[in-house]
Chains A and B, each alone.
Chain A
Amino acid sequence: MLTHYPTKRSVLVPTLLYAQDEIGSLTDEVIAELAQRLDLTELEVRNVISYYSMLTTKPRGKYNVQVCTNIACMLVGGEELLGHCKKKLGIGHKGTTPDGLFTLEEVECIGACSWAPAIQVNYDFHENLTVEKMDRVLDEYKKKGTQ
């Protein structure tokens, strides 16, 4: 990817996301390594991380359940769906279940407005949700995650 741009720095944002996908979060080691490879200071890398909402330095659960509560989803029950997830998983916004399986996040518009209410689990979209469907989705991930 480095050859795609005139500056090394340009690969930073997508690379941070790929690194996070692999390791789970942006650890001190990853940040140090990336900074060194791209001729940046660690501070410069951390500055960029703090700007982008998908990037995190804190460990998360295996499945990040991102519930949209922005306007289109809100009108058809997105907030209620979030409330249901909070109750079912027993955690709040950016919380992680004790078994490390789920993190829950209230997110801004994910681009599924015409199929609302919608969520993302990691990168997968789950749309046209009802509370019942939501439960099934979570149960499937739980099964997958504990195999």
Chain B
Amino acid sequence: MASLVSHPDEVRVVSKRFGQGATNIDRYLQLDGYKAVQKALAMQPDAIINEVKNSGLRGRGGAGFSTGMKWSFVPKQSAKPKYVLCNGDESEPGTCKDRLIFEHDPHSVIEGVMIAAIAVGSHTGYIYIRGEYRYLSIIMQKAIKDAYAKGFLGKNIFGSGYDLDIYWHGGAGAYEVGEESALMESLEGKRGIPRIRPPFPAVVGLWGGPTVINNAETLAAVPHIMLGGAEWYAGLGTPKNGGTRLFCLAGNLNKPGVYELPMGYNLKKMIYEVGGGIPIGRNLKAVVPGGSSTPVLLPEEIDVPMDFDSVAKAGSMLGSGGVVVLDDSNCIVKFALRTMKFYRHESCGWCIPCREGTDWLEKTLKRFHAGGGVKKDIDNIYYLAENMLGKTFCPLGDAAAMPTMAFVKKFRKEFEDHLEGRPCPFERTGVLERLPVFA
């Protein structure tokens, strides 16, 4: 299926078992599988939560919220059942990492869900996988079945007296459903419209019960933390940004691929050494550091450690790990347009600023790129995006607005070059032959 790559700078935690047949449960057991959950069963739930807190693990889906802290928000007592929900709806453009975890190490996700459940007192977990990942759903369903067959799931798991069920659930094509409250709506069999927060899922979630929602990679890291210890995991990264993460290098690069690197690894090094630099002698024009929702960085801004806090300080976000690299044959206006087309398509339509804002941005950018733009458009695009920011019902509006503002701010000249009916200076005649697709 999807091919694996490697680089000496990699620190393999979540990807430790990739390529070793760990979908087979007996092989997984050989490779230290299901040891972490047994350790967790013997611990106090608070001790598990503290371990995860101290590891510095932060959400790998994009928001980077402290995982341990999220788990600690689940109330000890609850009239309604508690749930753990694995977010496997990976749809952020540029991101293709959870796919590899599901393909090569599905049991680590199951084990992560189990440890989360034990930590918060839940007896039911769901692993939600996007509809397009059908072959991965089949792998996951088999893995769950095998875990049940060995008594690792179901009643009295590992003879501990604890009951725990985990079920697979499939999506059917929707980016917004990756947003945690929309994910819950989708799992409940509805349109993926997000919910108002507060209350947050940890307090009021699935069918009203406290629900922990974590990205697949986040959950896959948990068993490794339990076995290796919080201090070890934290030490792999930078202060307050513990561990490693899967980075998906994509775009105009010589060696695209998914690489597991320590948190804080330098972006410039990532592009030129791990990713092999820009092909065909072209130059770097821009980098989208963490999926399409993250503001673009200029070549002079890429000397930044890739952890949540450092990238935030640089004016962008670590995001989902999708590092998309643009060379100088690309038109930023066209890139911005394609990005807005995506958000407009994926907007759930519930709230006005997002529904109308993404549509208006796409239409304006389309007209603008085709040569029908006027000078006022440039400021209007920025102004419109700025007014979407923070005013939408869920972060999809921000995900559309922030990148747009960055494109205009950092590439204003390029926008101006499209004015007065001038054709796009990057129209791809002559560059066609050099696209990999024509190799």
Contacts and interface: CB of A to CB of B under 8 A. Distances in A.
A55 to B, nearest CB: 5
Given A115-B2, A117-B436, A131-B438, A17 B99 contact: no
A14 B435 contact: no
Interface residues of A, number: 51
B105 interface: no
Contact of A114 (B248, B326, B330): B248
A81 B189 contact: no
Contacts of B191: 47-48, 51
B439 A130 contact: yes
Interface in A30-49: 38, 47-48
Interface of A: 4-7, 9-14, 16-17, 38, 47-48, 51-55, 69-72, 74-78, 80-81, 108-117, 120, 123-125, 127-132
Nearest to B252: A75
B392 interface: no
B93 A72 contact: yes
A55 B191 CA distance: 12
A98 B334 CA distance: 33
Contacts of B169: 4, 10, 14
B135 A114 contact: no
Nearest to B177: A52
Given A77-B435, A111-B132, A116 B2 contact: no
Contacts of A53: 172-174, 345
A16 B172 contact: yes
Interface in B171-215: 171-175, 186-192, 207
B292 interface: yes
B51 interface: no
Contact of A9 (B130, B167, B189): B189
Interface residues of B, number: 66
Interface of B: 1-3, 81, 90-96, 98-99, 130-135, 165, 167, 169-175, 186-192, 207, 248-252, 256-258, 288, 292, 322, 324-327, 330, 335, 338-339, 342, 345-346, 348, 428, 432, 435-439
A76 B192 CA distance: 31
A81 B172 contact: no
A123 B437 CA distance: 22
Given A76-B252, A125-B2, A113 B432 contact: no
B96 A113 contact: yes
Given A111-B96, A123-B135, A72 B189 contact: no
A70 B248 CA distance: 15
A116 B250 contact: yes
Given A71-B339, A72-B322, A110 B437 contact: no
B437 A76 contact: yes
Contact of A12 (B189, B249, B345, B432): B189
Contact of B345 (A48, A75, A108): A108
Contacts of A129: 437
B326 A75 contact: yes
Given A111-B99, A114-B257, A115-B96, A71 B324 contact: yes
A54 B173 CA distance: 5
A111 B133 contact: yes
Given A51-B174, A80-B432, A114 B132 contact: no
A52 B135 contact: no
Contacts of B171: 13-14, 52
23 contacts: A6-B207, A12-B189, A14-B131, A14-B171, A52-B192, A53-B345, A54-B172, A71-B292, A72-B94, A72-B322, A75-B330, A108-B175, A108-B346, A109-B93, A111-B91, A111-B130, A113-B256, A113-B322, A115-B2, A116-B256, A123-B134, A128-B3, A131-B438
B246 to A, nearest CB: 10
A147 B288 CA distance: 45
B322 to A, nearest CB: 6
Contact of B131 (A54, A71, A116, A128): A54
A107 to B, nearest CB: 8
